[in-house]
Structures are given as C-alpha cells and as structure tokens.
Chains A and B, each alone.
Chain A
Amino acid sequence: MTRQRSERTWICLSLAALVAAALAPLVLAPFYVRVGQLVLYSAALGLAWAILGGFAGYWSFGQSAFIGIGAFVGGLAEAELATAPPALQFLVGLAAGSAACAVIAALLAYPVLRLRGIYFAIAMLGVAHVFAELNNNIDIFQGSLGLTFPNIGIAGLDPHVFYYELFLVAAAATLLAAWLIRRSRFGYGLLSIREDEDTARMLGVPTEHYKAAAFVVSAVIAGVLGLIYAHSLGYITTGSVYRDDTNLNAIVYSLLGGMGTLIGPIIGAAILVVLTHVVLGDFLDFHMFATGLLLVLLVLLAPSGLVGLARKLVGRKKVRR
C-alpha cells in the first residue's frame, strides 16, 4: 500500500515537472534554453546508460559508440531522402539509426557481456574507439568530412525551443521506458544480476538474455538521442558524437545522483551540465579541475549519490523523531 502511494506521488511529481519543463522556454533566455537542451539530452543519456549500468551493474564506458552509430547511420539514411520533407527524413533516420544500433548491440552482446566489471567497461571503451576510427576512416560514413542535418523544426518556432521540446519528449520517453523496465519482471531480473549474477541464474533468471536485452535497449535509446543531438547541431563530424567525455559523463550522472535509481541520472545530469556550462562556464581553464574536485568529494562523502545521501538524512531524521 505504502509502495503504491509512493509510486503515485512520484508519477504526479514527474508529470508536474514535465509540464513545468515544457513551459520553461517561455521564460528562459535563449542561452538557458540551450543549456536546457543539454540537461535533457544528458539526463536521457544517463537514464539509457542506467538501464544496463545502474540496473544490471554492467558499467559501459562506450555509450558514445551507439550515439555515433545512431547519428551517422540515421544521417546517411536521411541523406538518401534529401528531397523528402525533413520530418519524414527524420523518421526514416530514426528507424535506420535505431535498427543499426539494435543489430550491432545484439551482435556485440554475446562477446562483450561475457566479461564482467572493469573488463566489460574497458572492452566497451575499446568498442567505442574502434567504431570512431571506422567512422573516421571509411569514406562512406563521412566521419572526417562531416554530415549536415536538415532543420526539422516547426515553422515559426525558434529551432532552439523546438529541439529543447524534442529532447524533453525523448527524455520523458526514456524515463518512462526505464520506469516500466524497473518495475517489471525484466527489471527485477536485471537488479538480481547486478547483485549476484550466479545466484540470479540459480534462481531461474535468464541472465544472458536479460543482459543482452538491456544492452540493446540502452544502445537504441543512445542511438535515437545521438540523431536528435546531431539535428540540434546541424552538422557533425566523428568527434562531435564519438566523445570520451560523453562516455565518462554517462556514468558520472548516475554516480552523482544515485546509482540504480531513476531520478539519480536526471539530478546528476542537471547538476553537472549547469555546473560546467553556467556556474563555471567563464572559467574555461578552471572548470574541469573544479568539476573533477567536486566529483571526488561527492564520491567520498556520498558514495551512494545525492539520492542515497538524501535517503540517509531522511532516515536519520525519522529515527530522531
């Protein structure tokens, strides 16, 4: 009963936050709308990463591989339909990018998900670098030359606002997907894998299938986000999407906010993006140092993230009462 009530409260709060976020561009300056885009993009990426990393405990350092595949395969598919309306191009790009991510993730799943812990993380970093190099060096991908993307915005609407709203839809859809997974049999199976994979298998959890499915879902969402990101930029090269800082940040969002939670990556992304782009944005030489220092302090002082810290404080308060 308590669980159901708490779930209802979270649903109401999430819907209220969604409406507030959708209306925010009405009052935000253009710079902050752009920051909002990055917050939403990063939050969705963090959530996509968390489906495998937070729920199943498989920390990927190579999420950018799928961002890049989604962006470039989608962009190339769109280029084939250059005369079609931009919205149709985008839909075809989404289908092609998602399908490419799904197929490649499914093929990669068997070899890489046999590895655990740091070995899996490093293998995924290698995968991301291999795909970046292929993208840069095989002419058909145009990675070094770059790809342009048409504006798919609505006439009369500021493109920044349009992409902000598009990122909001993507982030909300990702949150919904992560929430549905988290409360499903599949989600509980992933949690059991994170806790103890051998025991999970012994209880009847089809661990190999579940890990592969989580890997594919996470990859497809990253690919979709990559294509939207590419459209919001208008032009990308390999370096725009195959980025090591994105690989790292996807993990940091969960570490900062709360590993394995749904709200954690959102809080983590919001804090890190606002910190690096707004608070420390004027201190270009200093902001990486300050951000790194803050992360080290947070990991030391709140190893379970801000959500974990908040739960601990609330727990202490209840005990005092």
Chain B
Amino acid sequence: MSDDPILRIEHVTKRFRGLLAINDVSLVVPRGIIASLIGPNGAGKSTLFNLITGYAPVTAGAIFYGERPIAGLATHRIAALGIARAFQIARPFRDLSVADNLRIAGMFGKSGARDVDATARRALDLAGLAELAETPAGAMTVGQLRRLEIARAVATRPELLLADEPCAGLNPTETAELVGILREIRASGVTILLVEHDMAAVMEVSDLVFVLDAGSKIAEGTPAQVTSDPRVVAAYLGTPEPAPAASAGA
C-alpha cells in the first residue's frame, strides 16, 4: 500500500439537529486499493459519502483529498478534482441514451471535455453496455442500471470512486460481474471506497475495511482482522446460530 493517502478524514462529525450521524470519525484511504465501509443500517456510511462529496456540510473536522482540504467545497468542484460517486439507488438520466449519460460524465468530472466519445466508449466497454449505447437509460434492467451507474462515475475519470452498495438487489451472477468490474477499475489505478452489505463481495475485493456503528468508527483492518474483531461481530456480523442440539434419545 502507498504511504501517500488519497483520502484523509480527520475527526469528522456530522450532526442533523439533535441527531449525531457521524461522531468524530477519522480514517485514511491509501491510493490504489479497494477499501470498504461496512456497518449496520443507520451507521452513517452514506452520510460519510455525502460529506466527502460535498453533498452535505461537515459539522466539525476536516477532509483531505490528497493534500487538499475539500470540506466546504461545492459538490461539482469536488467532482472536478477527481472524486466520483455511484449511488445506492441508480440515478440514470432516464430520458437520455446510455451513451449520452456517459458523454455527459465525460464532459464534466475530472476529465473535462477531452476525448469525450473515447471516454464514453471505454466506460461502455468496461460495463459491458456497448450494445445498449443508444438505448434510453429508463428502459434498462436493475442490473444494467447498476453497471451504468458505475460506468458513468468512471467516465468522469476519477482517481477516487465512492461506490454506494453497488451489489444491492443483484443476483449472484450479476454480483460476480460487478465485482469483476470493480477489480478492473482498481487495476486501472482508481482507488475505490465501497459501501456494501454483501459481506462475501466485501471480503472478496477489499484490501482494507472500516467498520462504522452508530456514527462512530469501531474497527479497521484487513477483512480477516475485522471479521474476527469482537466489536464488529457484536455490532454487525453477529454470531452464527448454534447448531440445533440433537434431540434427546436420538
């Protein structure tokens, strides 16, 4: 792993009136890895994504992208620096074609207006959507929309991709395809911060895992380290049901 982190979150707190959604969270994401953010519903994972992307302001603390502080920057400026986000519920531009969805991403984000068509084509190929290029995004299946969501984020040429539950609602085959796409994206040099509930997928692709519970970070480490951490087991993973005892007299 690199010593040059791509993302540093330092003592970040987010309060929605009386609700403490993120409580003094600090974490460091090295470049070139897939890091996962896991935790039960309401742990603050998506809120943390909102803070990183400037979608919501932080209450306290600092966020650094490389060496640059980004808390307080407008969302589009953060995107232009090279942070892209794929939403939990795919939000395609439904009335536009798949290709136009990707062209728009290629025109903005970090890529600016350079090689828009080539960027869109690469993203189409990556997501395996080349044959659907002229299809209106609104006519796609859930699995295809998930891939479009990832492809569109990639078309902005990010250095850091925030993927919010990309495998939610997918069947095992589609999940495997998506995991393959995430690996390909990492291989191209993009760092990925993943929020995901599919633990098999998380363990398979992650180099580093952060665990949030009730707005606080309770653990971080390799997949093996966090799965054996008693706090993580208690808060999120749970203990396996004991095997039913053999009936008396059997």
Contacts and interface: CB of A to CB of B under 8 A. Distances in A.
A196 B55 CA distance: 14
B93 A196 contact: yes
B76 interface: yes
B109 A203 contact: yes
Contacts of A137: none
B76 A195 contact: no
Interface string B43-57: 000000000010100
29 contacts: A185-B108, A185-B113, A188-B103, A188-B104, A195-B96, A196-B91, A196-B93, A199-B91, A201-B75, A201-B76, A201-B79, A202-B55, A202-B75, A202-B79, A203-B79, A203-B105, A203-B109, A203-B152, A203-B156, A204-B76, A204-B80, A204-B108, A204-B110, A204-B156, A205-B76, A205-B104, A206-B74, A207-B76, A260-B95
Contacts, number: 62
A117 B74 CA distance: 22
A226 B64 CA distance: 51
Interface string B68-102: 00000011100110001101000101111000100
B107 interface: yes
Given A189-B104, A191-B104, A204 B109 contact: yes
A93 to B, nearest CB: 37
Interface residues of B, number: 26
Given A202-B55, A203-B152, A192 B79 contact: no
Nearest to A199: B91
A188 B107 contact: yes
Given A189-B104, A191-B104, A204-B80, A199 B75 contact: no
A7 interface: no
Interface in B171-221: none
Interface of B: 53, 55, 74-76, 79-80, 84-85, 87, 91, 93-96, 100, 103-105, 107-110, 113, 152, 156
Q: Considering residues B87, B91, B93, which has the most beta carbons from chain A within 10 angstroms of its beta carbon? A: B93
Contacts of B79: 201-204
A206 B107 contact: no
Contact of B93 (A185, A195, A201, A206): A195
Interface string A200-225: 11111111000000000000000000
A198 interface: yes
B75 A188 contact: no
A198 B54 CA distance: 11
